[in-house]
């Protein structure tokens, strides 16, 4: 943004634009105000990735309106996360090119980005119940242009299942380790590989798992260095962060 | 105790003792009231192990008085846990046959029990900071008559250190797994061995370890079946429980 | 696992198998990858008990596929926990030899193990609302080959109900003490018997029971030594651990 | 206070006092403003007991000033709680008739009230470490004019010690049950006696006792009806409340 | 219970009953085992009040069976708490003399006790949403033989509403103060009256009330002495305890 | 209230009213007791704003009765918060002049107050999901006679959206900053403007947002001075407080 | 800040300054980088009050350097909060015009602002232990140019002490209500006065006050509208916010 | 590790080493057991970085022994974190080439790695109290071979201080955002830059910051995608992770 100001100042100094226009530009350009929301159309320039639609707190109509606006302004595909099955049904009526991934509760309008990531992102889970979160992570990373490999159900209670996939882990550019319950998977993986490990605690479990708190604390306290953590069940955040690393 | 009542009833019925004597017997026999404490001299019969002195909330004088009373009434050695260095110094003046273990903050007056446990109890720790808790567990188990093997500093961040000791773990009768931080050790060990695993969370760590809460929740949510948990830093409880299993 | 490596190394050294075969063996043998899950067929050898199916996070179809696979590879009965009534209905269509226990939300395909446990496992509960968790524990222990005795609704508010069952408790090989609310049962039982006591906090209660937290903390802080704790409502874990002790 | 207003209104109506005087009376009478504090000299009339000095947040000088003021205005003895040893030393220089109870960290200036309570208040503790809190409760009740009997160190881990004192408990007018760790004592006592039971959780314990939280939750969730709870370590509150019941 | 033993011992000594009969008596007398529950028929003798049925965790059929059993063995009315509307409907089919109080979710089979309490129990609430808990408390106290006066919706936000009822409060034998949100009512009432105050936090509120935690902590920390606390929403416990005080 | 007493005392002294009448006046005047509730009709005088009806814990019938009573006694419009759609439907049958705001779950019977606030209250939200809370705040402030400007969906993830509205923020008399998740909006706004900022955490988010706890703690710890906080989702409280400031 | 940009743009357009100068201005002007800190000299313009020095995390030398810098650049007095006694001693050596307030742990270098606030800010506390926090609030408000009246030790346990000061409260422009333990004072005051009430929870208390958590939750859940809350023990924040209101 | 096995198998198959030697190699090679610790000398190969010594739980003597061992086996410098001043003094006596960084409580024995990282790692803090954690992060990253730029004291309360450093942030390869209190810095930075952001919550703050919990939750719930979090005060972990990204 600092650079925008520099350029803008130059334009003003060169009389290429008026003061009023400049001020207007600062205010109006980077997003579109559609009443209930302000769509950040500028994000692609600023952060390398266009705005992603978080479907959870929005009606199907609101999501549709935002998608329409974004389709008009950009060529990229559009990612919608936390989209329920029934909202997805509604959207299918408006957009031919929408693909809905039921397990991940995630939709892509248009096409995924071309693969530009340099290495492979590996997504591992402790159990089968962690798969919805894992798919959110994997599909997000794929959408953003990365090759992704899935290694599911390799929790530490049967650690040989993890070791049988050591080659895959060793060759990864980034590993996303997803687990509920005690979340030990992140520490074990973090101790084995030399690439960055992003840990995602899930709300899988019961009783003293306290909706994912146990796995969250576990991962934050990992005795393995080189592990960072995102919010409980935040597969999207992990996939997005992994993409940032892999695109460098 | 139910059996005591049965026998007592018979004695009364047989007129071997009077009603008043019987009632008195129920009240007076199983402990000694020494003013500030009621020493449970009956516990050995009831639970197979004599009362253990918890040193934390007691003055050196109080501990000495209790030890004296117990020495008069029983032949066994006496175990004192959570005994600070300075209290230990005071006790050494009164008892020749006291041994103080500084790391474990634990003392034994008299001698340890003969080894009667059938197998070997293995005590593993995640790091070096867990050793004081581990020593409390190991010495408790040894005092109660068990062979103990220590495997320290084998946390999951360098899991090959654990695997290099797999033989020892595999041959254990009971494993006590002790770890702070994320406590993943318990789950990994629990998934590898077929004997009972007692997990001890420790308060080792900082920040979101919240004084051992992280390791505690982790161990309670272990994805490996066959793991049970004791209180944070409760090495004594783990050693005591392991003895119960190993003496069967 | 360490022993597998030893044997494998010998086979390789003896040229009985090639390096590639050996590596393959390490990777492929101990589990079956069926897409959404990796079934640990090796667990019986490693831990003395075959893999148990946790029904909560899986669809009826997924459970059925896993059961089929396991039936093909092993002779033992198969235990499924946390199975809802409607999923049980679906499974009954595929398997003739399935028995569903509605209170415990638990099913057994095939037959229970023969009784090989040396003593009796006693399951006690504080109230009637704890019975579902107790049945999960009791049936798990029975499935694994143990004689089980149930003593329900003997909470400390009417402690004579507990004492009337003292003989049963005194003769137990292991006691599983199950209670919600304040969880005092575990401490009282722990102070009376000389065998290991496994405490299971339940989510029974309201208000400041905080979904079982109160009972959980209570049991972890038990003033009676010789008590260990499993997760809230984890009847299966208690039954499984009790079996480990009783089979020694 | 409502009655004060009634009387005041009558005085005004009778012209016995002026409006201004009446208003003044409401404002000035019931307490004395000594700068840093407003001493409630009226409390004895309103609540049957004079104001008690909570020593924790006050300097020795401040406590002395308040005691002096109260001595001038009332004949009763004065109770000071949570008074540290060194502050007590300072006070002894100013007051001849002060008695300091070191274990309870409590002082009485002047004499205790005559015994007017109708029954006996029984104070029971789970362990020896609970005695300071118990003494605060017992001395408060004695100061307020009650006969008190102490039954210490009768925790549920050796429940026969409690039963040996059943006669005492059965004859109590009120029982104050004090325990740390898992606090099970309150439930067991609550299930045995027919008088009101006041439970006091203490901060005795370590790890998952979380400074008394475990005992607090335990007591709030007691399965025995007829148990109420005060703050952690609040011996004074329990003694004060017991007095209220016993003086009826 | 101790007294039972004394009497029993005498009977045995007098040969009035045999040892076996005595032992049987201890075991069988005080409760009835009806499979899923052990009904404590002895509680009336031991605690002055018969067992109360907690309806929450039981099916309508189970409640009916218990009521039937109790009706056969005792003349008193029977109190059932936490009984849902639909279970109440089922019970009405079996018992003519059942009265159901919908707001309080409480039923009485047979008639309330005669009024034997010496004073009046006053139940105050902070708001209208606290009334269900208040009615549980009031009806429990009435059932047990007490005169009860209700003063509802007098929270401290409009404190004159409370003061307008000061006469009622001042004349109370016991006050039950019920409030959610910040629970300040208990402290204000505790500072005004000289009788015992039982505080009941309710789960009324939202956000940082955390299901009653805010009111609970508030009440436990009351700056007014003479206040004790029961579990969140535990109207029954408060009414039961108030009865104990009022019946002295 | 103190002034009432002064005036009352004068009236009594002047014999304008009798003592009994005066006492009656204190008790009866300021509220109306309609059985289940005590309506505070006096609040307008005391606090400048009439009582507001909190619809959450009341039946549609109860709300209607209170509205009717208030309509008879005062001319002002009546505000009802937390009113569900179906209760609103019921009320529409009884009152012609009711307006229901569905997003805010808020109704106004009669008309809003005339605008008397001196400045403008600006309501900002971090996201679109915070809008229901924001509307509760905005409508409350409007009802009480203030000009309100809404600036929604300007969270710190796209901070230029916030800066584009800096003029509006800079000119505000009071800002209400509403955000869920990490609640950073309040700190950023608090650092930019010189007027008072009222922060409202919302329960928007998932996982470690813990139903608004994250935003609540964030706002309480704001590094920007001049920020105060209300309860989670408490739009009404923020609007009410903003009105108090703006009406000075 | 937006206005700065406007003016800057105009200056650039008018060629009054170059683009480079403009950019520099944005970067350099509003603060001074002194290595370990960036002093916000611009805050007075932006927020009406100069930067305040938070003494807690800084060495005496660091505080002195910042004070020196600020004295050179502005005429106003300088406020330092959370300054320990020994650091104050060090500062006294460097500055003649420093005044240190020991109870409040607060210092003022130079003179307080002239009184420009329109009304009176009243600071009330529940007890004497809350006075340090109250003095921080009162002195902050005085420093910023407000008349402040203190009403200390008027907690709700003796509510007539509060009522005797009703006139003072009624005439306040803003009330700051400060209390620990159960924090009920805020709700009672909030229900009595018609001005804004800022609640400050304190860490005064023990046990279940959990370092101020109890008072904090209490105040957030206040049943009285028109109350907002700041962080535990944050007297400065309350005084600062009260000033903002009072200066309008 | 999988690759080690492959190579080992080949060596065995080629008879280059015997079975016994191979097994020994697996067990002995990768770490050195020095009694109280098992030094992971293999980590450099496995994870690209040698073992780092965590000084907190170890005595000065223990640290010295480990350093000596590591110096003998590797050429790299050695990093010691959480080393107190007095332990550092002891180490200086044994090692000439030790450099101790007092603010960061961190020492380096030998020399830092050559700079091999491709971009620049930028470390930003909210306040001056966060600097110790920031220095731990910055020095760790420098030690591992990265160029680091520090931007301290740019918290969101004076957001222009952050914007004045936008160029630096925009050019970063990785940003480490460190803040206590409400931790909003991470979200604001995360919304501005397009590189990965690692957030480090610190324990700076008081009251409801709950030792860093507030900042931790804040950062986990960041509305800006592309932010991951490490444990409270874990500067080392952030620097280590940043290095992993920057070395790719």
Report the pLDDT value the prediction gives residue F192, as an integer from 0 to 100: 85
CB C145 within 8 A of CB C114: yes
**Would the pLDDT of H126 be above 80?**
yes
Q: Which one of H124, H125, H130, H157 would you mutate to disrupt binding with F, by most F Cβ within 10 Å of its Cβ?
A: H157
Q: Using the beta-carbon criterion (under 8 Å), do H12 and C13 form an inter-chain contact?
A: yes
E57: chain C residues, CB-CB within 8 Å: 127-129, 204
Q: From CA G191, how far away is CA G185, in angstroms rounded?
A: 10
Radius of gyration of chain E (CA): 21
- The answer for D47, left when phi > 0, alpha when psi is -120 to 50, beta otherwise, is alpha
| Residue that the structure tokens 């980005």 belong to | A113
Q: Using the beta-carbon criterion (under 8 Å), do H13 and C18 form an inter-chain contact?
A: yes
Query: Where in chain H are the domains?
Result: 5-109, 120-246
D126 touches chain C (CB under 8 A): yes
Report the pLDDT value the prediction gives residue C234, as an integer from 0 to 100: 97
**Would the pLDDT of F233 be above 90?**
yes
Its ipTM equals 0.87
End-to-end CA distance of chain F: give it in Å, rounded.
Answer: 21
Which of E126, E184, E190 shows the shortest C-beta gap to G218? E184
Main-chain dihedrals φ then ψ at residue C57, nearest 5 degrees = -90, 10
Q: Using the beta-carbon criterion (under 8 Å), do C220 and B229 form an inter-chain contact?
A: yes
Q: Which of B36, D182, D157 has its CA nearest to residue C201?
A: D182
Q: Using the beta-carbon criterion (under 8 Å), do F207 and A42 form an inter-chain contact?
A: no
Which of C158, C205, C223 shows the shortest C-beta gap to D182? C223
H164 touches chain C (CB under 8 A): no
Chain C residue with minimum CA distance to B239? C226
F26: chain D residues, CB-CB within 8 Å: 5
C15 touches chain H (CB under 8 A): yes
Q: Which residues pair with B149 in a beta bridge?
A: B122
**Would the pLDDT of G1 be above 70?**
no
Buried b (16+ CB within 10 A) or exposed e, F167-193: ebbbebbbbbbbbbbbbbbbbbbbbbb
Going by DSSP bridges, is the β-strand pair C227-229/C106-109 parallel, antiparallel, or unpaired? Answer: unpaired
What does the pLDDT look like over H132-153, one tens digit per residue? 999 999 999 999 999 999 999 9
**Would the pLDDT of F230 be above 90?**
yes
Report the pLDDT value the prediction gives residue A23, as an integer from 0 to 100: 58
Q: From CA C206, how far away is CA D240, in angstroms rounded?
A: 29
CB C67 within 8 A of CB C80: yes
Q: From CA A237, how far away is CA A52, in angstroms rounded?
A: 11
Report the pLDDT value the prediction gives residue A57, as an integer from 0 to 100: 81
Query: What single string gives the DSSP state of each residue in F26-90?
Result: HHHTT-EE-SS-EE-TTHHHHHSS---EE-TTS-HHHHHHHHHHHHHH--S-EEEES--HHHHHH
Give the distance between the most distant pair of CA atoms in chain F: 70
Q: Which one of B222, B225, B241, B246 would you mutate to disrupt binding with C, by most C Cβ within 10 Å of its Cβ?
A: B225
A17 touches chain B (CB under 8 A): no
Going by DSSP bridges, is the β-strand pair E78-81/E106-109 parallel, antiparallel, or unpaired? Answer: antiparallel
**E strands present in H119-229:** 120-125, 147-151, 174-179, 197-201, 227-229
Res. A30 pLDDT band, cuts 50 70 90 = low
CA–CA distances in Å: residue H113 to residues B82, H100, H104, H116: 45, 16, 18, 8
CB H18 within 8 A of CB A166: no
What does the pLDDT look like over D194-208, one tens digit per residue? 899 999 999 999 999
CB C1 within 8 A of CB B192: yes
End-to-end CA distance of chain B: give it in Å, rounded.
Answer: 21
Q: Which residues pair with E179 in a beta bridge?
A: E201
Instruction: Compute the C-alpha angle F217/F219/F222, nearest 5°.
Output: 110
CB A185 within 8 A of CB B144: no
Q: From CA C144, how far away is CA C48, in angstroms rounded?
A: 10
Q: Using the beta-carbon criterion (under 8 Å), do C208 and D221 form an inter-chain contact?
A: yes
Query: What single string gives the DSSP state of each residue in G10-61?
Result: HHHHTTSS-HHHHHHHHHHTT-EE-SS-EE-TTHHHHHSS---EE-TTS-HH
Range name among C39-48, C73-82, H231-240 with the lowest pLDDT average: C39-48
**Would the pLDDT of E138 be above 90?**
yes
Dihedral angle, C-alpha A164, A168, A173, A176, nearest 10 °: -50
CB D191 within 8 A of CB C159: yes
Which of A209, A223, A225 shows the shortest C-beta gap to B182? A223
Q: Which helix (H) or strand (E) element contains residue A125? A: strand A120-125
CB E225 within 8 A of CB D240: yes
Report the pLDDT value the prediction gives residue A101, as an integer from 0 to 100: 97
Question: Hey, how many other C-beta atoms are within 10 angstroms of the C-beta on C86?
Answer: 8
CA–CA distances in Å: residue A70 to residues A40, A66, C149, G154: 9, 6, 66, 60
Q: Which of C227, C48, C236, C228 has its CA nearest to residue C142?
A: C236
Helices (H) and strands (E) in chain F, counts: 11, 11
Q: From CA B3, how far away is CA C168, in angstroms rounded?
A: 11
Res. D192 pLDDT band, cuts 50 70 90 = confident
Neighbouring subunits of G (3+ Cβ pairs under 8 A)? A, D, E, F, H
Instruction: Tokens for B224, please give them.
Output: 């490996």
End-to-end CA distance of chain D: give it in Å, rounded.
Answer: 21
**Would the pLDDT of A25 be above 70?**
no
Q: From CA E50, how far away is CA E110, in angstroms rounded?
A: 13
Q: Using the beta-carbon criterion (under 8 Å), do C9 and H15 form an inter-chain contact?
A: no
Q: From CA H239, how far away is CA B39, in angstroms rounded?
A: 55
Instruction: Tokens for C53, please give them.
Output: 């199916």
Main-chain dihedrals φ then ψ at residue F210, nearest 5 degrees = 45, 55
What does the pLDDT look like over C86-113, one tens digit per residue? 999 999 999 999 999 999 999 999 999 9
Report the pLDDT value the prediction gives residue G244, as an integer from 0 to 100: 95
Q: Determine the distance in angstroms separating the CA of F211 from the nearest CA of chain A, rounded to an integer.
A: 12
Chain B residue with minimum CA distance to H50? B158
What does the pLDDT look like over A142-178, one tens digit per residue? 999 999 999 999 988 878 788 778 889 988 999 999 9
Res. E8 pLDDT band, cuts 50 70 90 = low
H161 touches chain G (CB under 8 A): yes
| Weakly modelled stretches of chain B, pLDDT under 50 | 1-3, 27-28
Report the pLDDT value the prediction gives residue C225, as an integer from 0 to 100: 86
User: What is the pLDDT of chain E when averaged over all its residues?
Assistant: 87
Range name among D161-170, E35-44, F143-152, H189-198 with the lowest pLDDT average: E35-44
Instruction: Tokens for F217, please give them.
Output: 């703690």
DSSP classification of residue C191: H
Radius of gyration of chain C (CA): 21
pLDDT average, residue stretch C227-245: 97
Radius of gyration of chain B (CA): 21
Q: Using the beta-carbon criterion (under 8 Å), do C164 and E28 form an inter-chain contact?
A: yes
Res. D72 pLDDT band, cuts 50 70 90 = confident
Secondary structure class of A197 (helix, strand, coil)? strand
Q: From CA C219, how far away is CA C233, in angstroms rounded?
A: 13
Query: What single string gives the DSSP state of each residue in B99-163?
Result: EEETTTTEEEES-PPP---SSEEEEEESSSTTHHHHHHHHHHHHHTT-EEEEE-S--GGGHHHHH
Q: Which of D225, D209, D207 has its CA nearest to residue D217?
A: D209
More confident residue, A82 or C6: A82
Q: Which residues contact H50 (CB under 8 A, 6 or more apart)?
A: H41, H43, H44, H70, H74, H76, H78
Q: Determine the distance in angstroms separating the CA of G7 from the nearest CA of chain F, rounded to an integer.
A: 13
Report the pLDDT value the prediction gives residue E192, as an integer from 0 to 100: 85
A19 touches chain C (CB under 8 A): no
D184 touches chain C (CB under 8 A): yes
Chain E residue with minimum CA distance to B2? E23
Q: From CA E191, how far away is CA E194, in angstroms rounded?
A: 8
Q: Using the beta-carbon criterion (under 8 Å), do C37 and A208 form an inter-chain contact?
A: no
Res. C229 pLDDT band, cuts 50 70 90 = very high
Chain E residue with minimum CA distance to C180? E57
C8 touches chain B (CB under 8 A): no
**Would the pLDDT of H71 be above 50?**
yes
Instruction: Tokens for E84, please give them.
Output: 């849902």
Q: From CA C167, how far away is CA C165, in angstroms rounded?
A: 6
Give the distance between the most distant pair of CA atoms in chain A: 70
Name the CATH topology of H120-246. Rossmann fold (3.40.50)
**Between E2-13 and E19-28, two packed helices, what is the crossing angle to 10 degrees?**
160
**Would the pLDDT of C164 be above 90?**
no
Q: Using the beta-carbon criterion (under 8 Å), do G233 and H160 form an inter-chain contact?
A: no
Q: Using the beta-carbon criterion (under 8 Å), do C240 and B228 form an inter-chain contact?
A: no
Buried b (16+ CB within 10 A) or exposed e, G161-192: bbbbbbebbbebbbbbbbbbbbbbbbbbbbbb
User: What is the pLDDT of chain A when averaged over all its residues?
Assistant: 87
Q: From CA B54, how far away is CA B236, in angstroms rounded?
A: 10
Q: How many contacts, defined by CB atoms under 8 Å, are there between C and H?
A: 32
| Residue that the structure tokens 């208390």 belong to | G205
Q: Which of C89, C50, C54, C87 has its CA nearest to residue C71?
A: C50
């Amino acid at each position: 943004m600092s650079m925008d100001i520099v350029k803008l100042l130059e334009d003003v100094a060169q009389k290429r634009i008026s003061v009023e226009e400049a001020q207007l530009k600062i205010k109006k350009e980077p997003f579109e105000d559609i009443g209930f929301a302000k769509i950040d159309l500028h994000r692609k320039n600023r952060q390398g990735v266009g705005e992603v639609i978080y479907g959870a707190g929005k009606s199907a109509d609101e999501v549709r309106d935002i998608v329409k606006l974004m389709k008009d302004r950009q060529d990229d595909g559009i990612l919608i996360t936390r989209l329920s099955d029934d909202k997805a049904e509604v959207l299918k009526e408006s957009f031919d090119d929408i693909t809905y991934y039921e397990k991940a509760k995630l939709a892509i309008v248009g096409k995924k980005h071309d693969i530009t990531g340099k290495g492979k992102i590996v997504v591992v889970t402790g159990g089968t119940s962690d798969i919805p979160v894992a798919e959110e992570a994997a599909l997000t990373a794929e959408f953003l242009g990365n090759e992704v490999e899935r290694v599911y159900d390799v929790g530490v209670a049967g650690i040989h299942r993890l070791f049988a996939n050591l080659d895959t882990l060793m060759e990864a550019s980034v590993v996303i380790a997803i687990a509920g319950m005690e979340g030990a998977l992140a520490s074990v993986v973090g101790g084995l590989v030399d690439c960055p490990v992003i840990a995602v605690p899930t709300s899988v479990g019961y009783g003293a798992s306290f909706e994912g708190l146990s796995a969250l604390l576990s991962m934050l306290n990992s005795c393995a260095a080189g592990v960072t953590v995102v919010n409980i069940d935040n597969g999207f955040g992990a996939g997005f962060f992994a993409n940032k690393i892999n695109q460098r």
